[in-house]
């Protein structure tokens, strides 16, 4: 079997703030069937340490960016883990990245440099007799892995996956010493980024292979609009870049067995779940579609567009149920909308079980992202027959087949795409959604198509396994 160390700052179900955690948690099982043994290196957050069992100490570090630390091997939530037990870096409550004031921990650059440093160390020295053939890092938090590996004299093949290029791991050049970086590499073809340091750029320049989470996003990254200042780097590394679409966990997201919801009766099969969701959210009966939003409330996710376009849904008898948290101005705006209209229900916060109930009970799920590397919520919607309404970008473009006249005639449509990603386009999409919803035969076919769409990991796992095989051939 090919031995791969996955290096990630979060991993479901142990610690999760977004889709990266879902991917890191799902990949090991998906890749096992492809002949890949994947172990996952994680920071020792309190929840991770508490869940770890059958652990042993694999390494000791006298000074891991400020204090001694240990590397533990063990199991948690069915995952084969390496865990960095470094209380001075990771024994902190709540969000992995943010302090109680909602701001980044000031030592985040050092905290995740430590993750990369240990990953490179395992690449060279192994852990408890296990030696990876590939180091697979995720996002900026693992961006220094190839750089440190170079400084240590080289080692296994390296892969860096870009889940969201908007987060570059940038810091000021004065931290070179504290981050243990070779000052000679502070240059355009190294980790220098507009006069500062970028962990993500370090990985983009030095990794043997780059992947991102959808084919369309791979193309978008090479443009100024989506490249976030790194589009030139992406064009330079074009030959190393592959877009591999994410999948979802078909066991955790299964409408037939999901313990968070009531079972379906028949296609469209939403009557019990929809009635239960309306009761839970305090929504009355209505003639139009019940739309749900489960999202971080940020500009990227286009939640301001939902607020602006909402009358187009409500005027056609539709409803909105929203679950999310994020930018205070957006939270306030949606609270006000919920207070002002009985057909709008808003829950601020994060609730995994409620997200399942909402996606099961909704008729449609709105994902109006301005950019979206892959997106998972639209795939959850497809799985549950909750028709996605999505911006035409990134993975949303790759996973939803627009309900155009041609695709409806051919019987392949699975949702609604809109472009450009503006409030006016979203209004038109919501009007189109309500028209389709009123045509019960067309709507039933759309729902059936959505549920038949493959959204699991099989194809993506094969692509990753093939990539690893190419990287390890002859090494």
Question: pLDDT for 211-253, tens place per residue?
Answer: 999 999 999 999 999 999 999 999 999 999 999 999 998 988 9
Specify whether 278 is located in the same domain as 402: yes
Question: Using 50, 70 and 90 to split pLDDT, how confident is the model at 266?
Answer: very low
Residues 321 and 291: beta-carbon distance below 8 Å: yes
Specify whether 108 is located in the same domain as 140: yes
Residues 136 and 4: beta-carbon distance below 8 Å: yes
* Total domains present in the chain: 2
Retrieve residue 217's tokens: 């996003």
Question: Using 50, 70 and 90 to split pLDDT, how confident is the model at 263?
Answer: low
Say if 401 falls within a structural domain.
yes
Residues 43 and 115: beta-carbon distance below 8 Å: yes
User: What local confidence, expressed as pLDDT, does residue 268 receive?
Assistant: 47
Say if 407 falls within a structural domain.
yes
Specify whether 399 is located in the same domain as 467: no
Mean pLDDT of 150-166: 96
Say if 133 falls within a structural domain.
yes
Find all residues with CB under 8 Å of 298, minimum gap 6, and list them: 326, 327, 330
pLDDT in tens, 313-345: 999 999 999 999 999 999 999 999 999 999 999
Q: Does residue 385 carry a pLDDT above 50?
A: yes
User: What local confidence, expressed as pLDDT, does residue 267 receive?
Assistant: 43
Indicate which CATH number applies to the domain containing 50: 3.40.50.2000
Say if 237 falls within a structural domain.
yes
DSSP classification of residue 267: T
Find all residues with CB under 8 Å of 348, minimum gap 6, and list them: 324, 325, 331, 334, 335
Specify whether 237 is located in the same domain as 303: no
- Regarding pTM above 0.85, the answer is yes
H helices present in 301-373, as ranges: 303-314, 328-340, 352-361
CB 24: neighbour CB atoms within 10 A?
Answer: 28
Task: Name the 3-class secondary structure at 95.
Answer: coil
Residues 179 and 147: beta-carbon distance below 8 Å: no
Specify whether 161 is located in the same domain as 276: no
Is 301 annotated in some ligand binding site? Answer: no
pLDDT in tens, 55-93: 999 999 999 999 999 999 999 999 999 999 999 999 998
Retrieve residue 336's tokens: 């006000």
User: What local confidence, expressed as pLDDT, does residue 475 receive?
Assistant: 73
Residues 343 and 319: beta-carbon distance below 8 Å: yes
Mean pLDDT of 155-174: 97
Say if 252 falls within a structural domain.
no
DSSP classification of residue 363: S
Specify whether 12 is located in the same domain as 148: yes
Say if 294 falls within a structural domain.
yes
From residue 253, give the alpha-carbon distance in Å to each of 213, 366, 377.
19, 18, 11
Distance between alpha carbon 396 and the CA centroid of its chain, in Å? 13
DSSP classification of residue 171: E
Specify whether 221 is located in the same domain as 359: no
Q: Which residue has the higher pLDDT, 255 or 208?
A: 208
Output the average pLDDT for the chain: 95
Mean pLDDT of 391-411: 96
DSSP classification of residue 404: -
Residue among 413, 418, 419 at smallest CA distance from 443: 413
Find all residues with CB under 8 Å of 143, minimum gap 6, and list them: 116, 137, 160, 169, 198, 199, 200, 201, 202, 203, 204
Q: How many angstroms separate the CA atoms of 87 and 23, rounded?
A: 26
Retrieve residue 309's tokens: 């376009």
CA diameter of the chain = 68
User: What local confidence, expressed as pLDDT, does residue 391 receive?
Assistant: 98
Mean pLDDT of 180-190: 96
pLDDT in tens, 86-140: 999 999 988 999 998 889 999 999 999 999 999 999 999 999 999 999 999 999 9
Q: Residue 324: beta bridge partners?
A: 295, 348
User: What local confidence, expressed as pLDDT, does residue 316 receive?
Assistant: 97
Is residue 162 exposed (0-12), middle (13-18) or buried (19+ Cβ within 10 Å)?
Answer: buried
First-to-final CA distance of the chain: 15
Find all residues with CB under 8 Å of 106, minimum gap 6, and list them: none
DSSP classification of residue 56: E
Specify whether 184 is located in the same domain as 314: no
Q: How many angstroms separate the CA atoms of 370 and 226, rounded?
A: 10
Question: Using 50, 70 and 90 to split pLDDT, how confident is the model at 19?
Answer: confident
Domain that holds residue 217: 2-247+458-472
Say if 264 falls within a structural domain.
no
Question: Using 50, 70 and 90 to split pLDDT, how confident is the model at 262?
Answer: low
Specify whether 426 is located in the same domain as 462: no
CB 67: neighbour CB atoms within 10 A?
Answer: 12
Q: Does residue 416 carry a pLDDT above 70?
A: yes
Retrieve residue 413's tokens: 């449509």
Say if 256 falls within a structural domain.
no
Specify whether 304 is located in the same domain as 377: yes
Distance between alpha carbon 100 and the CA centroid of its chain, in Å? 23
Q: How many angstroms separate the CA atoms of 422 and 230, rounded?
A: 25
Specify whether 307 is located in the same domain as 394: yes
User: What local confidence, expressed as pLDDT, does residue 290 receive?
Assistant: 98
Q: Does residue 433 carry a pLDDT above 80?
A: yes
Task: Name the 3-class secondary structure at 78.
Answer: coil
Specify whether 230 is located in the same domain as 275: no
Percent of the chain with pLDDT over 90: 93
DSSP classification of residue 140: G
């Amino acid at each position: 079997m090919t031995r791969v160390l996955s290096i990630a700052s979060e991993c479901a179900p142990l610690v999760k703030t977004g889709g990266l955690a879902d991917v890191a948690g799902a990949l090991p099982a998906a890749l096992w069937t492809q002949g890949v043994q994947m172990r996952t290196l994680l920071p020792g957050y309190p929840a991770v340490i508490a869940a770890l069992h059958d652990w042993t100490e694999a390494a000791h570090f006298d000074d891991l960016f400020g204090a001694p630390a240990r590397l533990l091997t063990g199991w948690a939530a069915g995952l084969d883990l390496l865990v960095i037990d470094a209380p001075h870096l990771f024994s902190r409550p709540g969000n992995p990245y943010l302090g109680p004031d909602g701001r980044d921990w000031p030592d985040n650059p050092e905290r995740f440099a430590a993750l990369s440093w240990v990953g490179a160390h395992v690449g060279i020295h192994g852990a408890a007799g296990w030696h990876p053939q590939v180091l697979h890092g995720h996002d900026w938090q693992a961006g220094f892995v190839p750089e440190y590996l170079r400084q240590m004299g080289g080692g296994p093949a390296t892969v860096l996956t870009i889940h969201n290029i908007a987060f570059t791991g940038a810091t000021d050049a004065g931290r070179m010493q504290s981050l243990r970086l070779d000052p000679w590499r502070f240059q355009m073809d190294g980790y220098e980024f507009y006069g500062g340091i970028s962990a993500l750029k370090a990985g983009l320049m030095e990794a043997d292979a780059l992947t991102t989470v959808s084919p369309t996003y791979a193309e978008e990254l090479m443009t100024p609009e989506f490249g976030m200042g790194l589009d030139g780097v992406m064009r330079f590394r074009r030959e190393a870049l592959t877009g591999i679409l994410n999948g979802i966990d078909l066991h955790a997201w299964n409408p037939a067995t999901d313990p968070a919801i009531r079972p379906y009766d028949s296609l469209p099969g939403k009557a019990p779940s929809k009635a239960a969701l309306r009761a839970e959210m305090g929504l009355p009966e209505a003639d139009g579609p019940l739309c749900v939003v489960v999202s971080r409330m940020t500009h990227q996710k286009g939640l301001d567009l939902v607020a602006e376009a909402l009358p187009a849904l409500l005027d056609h008898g539709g409803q909105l149920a929203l679950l999310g948290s994020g930018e205070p101005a957006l939270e306030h705006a949606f609270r006000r909308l919920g207070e002002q209209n009985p057909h709008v229900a808003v829950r601020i916060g994060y609730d995994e079980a409620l997200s399942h109930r909402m996606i099961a009970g909704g008729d449609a799920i709105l994902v109006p992202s301005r950019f979206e590397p892959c997106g998972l919520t639209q795939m959850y919607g497809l799985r549950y027959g909750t028709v996605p309404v999505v911006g035409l970008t990134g993975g949303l473009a790759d996973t939803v087949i627009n309900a155009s006249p041609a695709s409806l005639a051919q019987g392949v449509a699975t949702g609604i795409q809109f472009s450009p990603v503006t409030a006016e386009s979203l209004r038109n999409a919501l009007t189109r959604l309500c028209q389709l919803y009123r045509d019960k035969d067309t709507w039933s076919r759309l729902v059936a198509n959505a549920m038949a769409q493959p959204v699991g990991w099989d194809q993506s796992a094969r692509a990753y396994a093939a990539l690893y095989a190419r990287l390890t051939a002859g090494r």
